[in-house]
């Protein structure tokens, strides 16, 4: 590239005095201000393109204040696209491929014109053909605040924006798998009928599938490989990703459903030292990524606490500002209600060590917008000291993997889990300590996108990931699953009966436990990934939701709707406040008594008897229901049997049989039969079943 090409090729574009703030582009009536953070640059060049990506001009910015390069270019408008080029400082140790030949994506770009796909051929030399270009946009109004929702009412549904509607027969074919498909009335109706309050979308920010997946003909379906933290992913657009993503979020808000955005502020798709130069590596490599000096090579090397080649250095002032600006943008301009942070321990590292008093957490607590948004952590990364479950500030929610493992193991029949199961059921107060953290801080799940679906937990003993083309070496081996006599699908009615019952047990435990329930989208539809517990690279029917349901799948969907409604209809089931927990002053529990199956109170020794898999919990307190909004005394009785044989329960509180009604019986698929079940103090509790009684 010659020196002559570094200046404007069209006299229509004139460089004038600009402003250092704000970063990114600011469109005005007579042109556009550009501001770029580039401490590694000797020159920063604005590359202008038309809508067909034909180069129009390359203009070198002349103004600089420390690491910010800026200028105003006249006659630039929304009909133009742009990218960046940087001539690196000769004195800086920058990435070896950082050169003026690499077109860079502006970290503050709000919209890209097409998806970013890896191509070694197009990346070689001048990478302009591979790199998408950023739109120049008119300023957007900041109209939104997070949807207001009581924490105790929150039921989270994790969904993939494409998979949600790709196979739905009522969604117009042209919109299936898009932002507009995900907010189709048929989808919203399903979510409302299920009873969820919040949809947690897998990443919607622009990403690039990894080269090793692309080279095998696969992709990154999940989207956990970002390159920009503002621009919505173009893959999910029918025409205009920004407009359609914003419309989708608005329709969820109109339906009174929170949108929680899964965000990846732990790494980018530029990978490690051998990864491509796409954005940050060309602008501010040492500021963007965590590195440590290696005295043997006399060079800095990438720290890889994400497992993806690099670690975002959130403690750096520029990166921290970038992340906070992105969060505020997604709330105020796009309309989301909160965020789920992937590998969240990385955002709390200062620089290498996690601290729950990190500057990032302090900024969120005082920010006038973000302090009201949902903050949900995946509370670990793969670095030293990365597992931090229960250690986040009190306003954070945390994904509780201990709940997942204990509940799966207990219902599978594993020994020695009864006492811990009871602890998880009552809010995991050993992890989320009373007086310090609210009960809803524990985000309970039995399945998540990175693992078996609920149906596969009871259908496969082992993972089956050959479709990922990694010789079945990827994905976890510790799945706490069972196949109950046959690996995979079967026509055996006895096996299928056990599987469906176990699904009912797992789902009921999830919804009736204290904390915030998290449902993996598609579980209510009995979605299967054929035993693949790491289906990140499968953009096909393996991941897309199947809406064509068999009779037993329809019955399970009706059951899921029933159980969510049971929780949402009674405030006492949503949140229990005990007298010895003074996190707030909203005590609503009178007593909570644990019983053996013979009706006597549990003793300490009973909790460590590994042969006992049965117990009853009797709770009384003050609560209300949808039908009666006034507080009144409620009594609930939970009876659990994880053995593979029936057991006799004899519970004296049920002697007044006319005062009690059965509201849940997981041994029965038909929810309409629960209310007619005969209530007696002495009864057989079927194998692998969960009964709930409510005092009338």
Any idea what the Cα angle at residue 26 is, between residues 20 and 30, rounded to 5°? Answer: 110
CA distance 166 to 160: 10
**Closest Cα partner for 199 from 213, 178, 183?**
183
Tokens of 199: 């949809």
Mutual angle of helices 551-568 and 185-194, in 10-degree steps: 60
378, 381, 414, 635: which one is catalytic? 378
Tokens of 105: 């994506």
CB 223 within 8 A of CB 203: yes
Any idea what the Cα angle at residue 335 is, between residues 333 and 338, rounded to 5°? Answer: 115
DSSP 3-state assignment of 361? helix
Asked if the bond preceding 272 is cis, omega within 30° of 0, the reply is: no
CB 338 within 8 A of CB 145: no
CA distance 625 to 638: 18
342, 523, 539, 635: which one is catalytic? 342
CB 382 within 8 A of CB 349: no
DSSP letters along 667-694, please? Answer: T-S-GGGSTTSPP-SEEEE-TTEEEEEE
CB 161 within 8 A of CB 187: no
CB 214 within 8 A of CB 118: yes
DSSP 3-state assignment of 258? strand
Any idea what the Cα angle at residue 236 is, between residues 230 and 240, rounded to 5°? Answer: 70
**Closest Cα partner for 428 from 452, 407, 458, 409?**
407
**Closest Cα partner for 351 from 328, 398, 319?**
319
* Bridge partners of residue 601, in order along the sequence: 595
CA distance 457 to 467: 19
CB 449 within 8 A of CB 340: no
Tell me the H-state helices in 216-302. 241-254, 280-288
Q: Is 378 labeled as catalytic in the residue annotation?
A: yes
Distances (CA, A) of 454 to 288, 348, 505, 533: 38, 32, 11, 11
Residue whose tokens read 């003993």 = 461
Q: Could you tell me the sign of the dihedral formed by the alpha carbons of 383, 385, 390, 395, in that order? A: negative
Q: Is 285 labeled as catalytic in the residue annotation?
A: no
Exposed, middle or buried by CB within 10 Å (0-12, 13-18, 19+), for 297?
Answer: exposed
Distances (CA, A) of 622 to 227, 317, 618, 630, 636: 50, 49, 14, 10, 11
Structural element, H or E, at residue 375: strand 374-377
Write out the catalytic residue numbers.
Answer: 342, 378
């Amino acid at each position: 590239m010659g020196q002559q090409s570094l200046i404007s090729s069209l006299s229509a574009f004139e460089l004038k005095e600009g402003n250092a703030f704000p970063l990114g582009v600011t469109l005005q009536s007579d042109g556009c201000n550009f501001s770029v953070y580039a401490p590694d640059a000797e020159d920063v060049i604005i590359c202008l393109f038309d809508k067909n990506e034909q180069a129009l001009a390359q203009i070198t910015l002349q103004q600089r204040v420390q690491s910010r390069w800026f200028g105003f270019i006249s006659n630039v408008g929304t009909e133009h696209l742009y990218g960046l080029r940087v001539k690196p400082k000769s004195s800086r140790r920058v990435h070896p491929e950082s050169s003026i030949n690499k077109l860079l994506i502006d970290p503050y770009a709000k919209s890209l014109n097409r998806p970013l796909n890896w191509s070694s051929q197009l990346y070689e030399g001048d990478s302009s053909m591979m790199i998408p270009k950023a739109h120049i946009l008119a300023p957007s109004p900041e109209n939104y605040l997070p949807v207001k929702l009581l924490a105790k009412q929150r039921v989270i549904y994790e969904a993939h924006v494409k998979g949600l509607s790709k196979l739905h027969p009522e969604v117009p074919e042209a919109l299936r798998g898009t932002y507009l498909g995900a907010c189709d009335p048929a989808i919203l109706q399903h979510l409302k009928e299920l009873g969820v309050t919040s949809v947690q979308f897998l990443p919607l920010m622009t990403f690039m599938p990894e080269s090793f997946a692309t080279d095998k003909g696969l992709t990154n379906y999940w989207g956990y490989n970002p390159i920009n933290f503002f621009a919505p992913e173009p893959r999910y657009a029918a025409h205009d990703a920004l407009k359609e993503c914003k419309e989708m979020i608005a329709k969820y808000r109109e339906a009174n459903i929170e949108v929680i955005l899964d965000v990846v502020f732990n790494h980018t798709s530029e990978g490690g030292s051998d990864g491509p130069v796409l954005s940050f590596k060309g602008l501010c490599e040492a500021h963007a990524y965590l590195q440590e000096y290696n005295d043997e090579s006399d060079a800095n090397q990438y720290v890889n606490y994400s497992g993806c080649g690099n670690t975002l250095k959130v403690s750096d002032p520029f990166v921290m500002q970038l992340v906070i600006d992105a969060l505020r943008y997604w709330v105020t301009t796009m309309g989301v209600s909160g965020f789920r942070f992937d590998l969240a321990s990385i955002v709390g590292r200062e620089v290498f060590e996690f601290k729950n008093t990190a500057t990032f957490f302090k900024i969120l607590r005082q920010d006038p917008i973000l302090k009201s948004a949902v903050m949900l952590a995946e509370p670990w990364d793969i670095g030293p000291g990365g597992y931090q479950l229960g250690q986040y500030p009190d306003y954070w929610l945390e994904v509780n993997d201990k709940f997942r493992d204990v509940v799966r193991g207990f219902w599978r029949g594993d020994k020695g889990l009864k006492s811990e199961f009871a602890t998880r059921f009552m809010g995991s107060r050993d992890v989320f300590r009373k007086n310090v953290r609210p009960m809803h801080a524990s985000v309970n799940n039995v399945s998540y996108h990175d693992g078996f679906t609920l149906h596969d937990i009871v259908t496969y003993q082992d993972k089956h990931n050959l479709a990922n083309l990694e010789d079945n070496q990827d994905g976890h081996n510790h799945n706490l699953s069972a196949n109950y006599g046959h690996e995979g699908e079967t026509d055996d009615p006895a096996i299928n009966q056990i599987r469906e019952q176990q699904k009912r047990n797992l789902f009921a435990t999830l919804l009736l436990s204290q904390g915030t329930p998290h449902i993996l989208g598609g579980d209510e539809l009995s979605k299967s990934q054929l035993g693949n517990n790491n289906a990140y690279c499968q953009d096909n029917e393996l991941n897309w939701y199947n809406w064509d349901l068999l009779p037993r799948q329809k019955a399970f969907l009706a059951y899921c709707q029933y159980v969510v409604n049971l929780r949402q209809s009674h405030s006492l089931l949503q949140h229990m406040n005990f007298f010895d927990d003074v996190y707030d002053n909203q005590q609503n529990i009178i007593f909570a008594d644990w019983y053996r199956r013979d009706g006597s109170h549990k003793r300490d020794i009973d909790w460590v008897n590994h042969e006992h898999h049965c117990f009853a919990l009797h709770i009384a307190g003050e609560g209300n229901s949808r039908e009666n909004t006034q507080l009144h005394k409620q009594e609930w009785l939970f009876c659990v049997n994880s053995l593979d044989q029936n057991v006799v329960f004899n519970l004296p509180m049920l002697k007044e049989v006319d005062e009690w009604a059965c509201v849940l019986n997981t041994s029965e698929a038909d929810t309409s039969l629960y209310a007619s079940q005969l209530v007696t103090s002495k009864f057989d509790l079927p194998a692998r079943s969960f009964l709930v009684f409510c005092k009338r």
